[in-house]
Amino acid sequence: MDIDNVRKVAKLARLDLSEADLATMTTQLSAILSYVDQLKELDTDNVEPMAHPLPLKNVFRPDELRPSLPVDEALKNAPARSGDFFAVPAILDAGDDLSH
């Protein structure tokens, strides 16, 4: 992980990091990725795939009707807005084949 990649990730996350923070994050993210690479060395051939290592139970609460935020409050920190909605850049072309 180099500082340019950290700068790019910070921009995508809308984080304004100082040069010192960028250097720290570069070191820390490199260490994290190194740990993740160590996992590739494990033999998982006979390990059954699972979604979670612990048994889970239904933790949903009953739906309760509550007032939501007013539109202006919800969108006050949005970088861009289109009427009453968040405006985001298009990431798919209408002609993209998503069947794969």
CB within 8 Å of 39: residues ≥ 6 apart: none
If you search the block for the tokens 């048994």, which residue do you land on? 55
pLDDT tens digit string along 9-22? 999 999 999 999 99
pLDDT at residue 100 is higher than 60: no
| Reported confidence tier of residue 97, pLDDT bands at 50, 70, 90 | low
Q: How far apart are CA 69 and CA 81, in angstroms?
A: 16
The confidence score (pLDDT) of residue 32 equals 95
pLDDT tens digit string along 25-58? 999 999 999 999 998 899 989 988 888 888 878 8
Residue 29 near residue 7 (C-beta atoms within 8 A): no
pTM: 0.47
Q: What mean pLDDT is reported for the chain? A: 89
| Ordered domains of the chain (ranges, CATH) | 3-39 (1.10.20)
Percent share of the chain, pLDDT over 90 = 62
Comparing C-alpha atoms, which of 85, 88, 89, 63 is closest to residue 74? 85
How far CA 65 is from CA of 39, 51, 62, 75, 84, in Å, comes to 44, 31, 10, 21, 21
Residue 86 near residue 80 (C-beta atoms within 8 A): yes
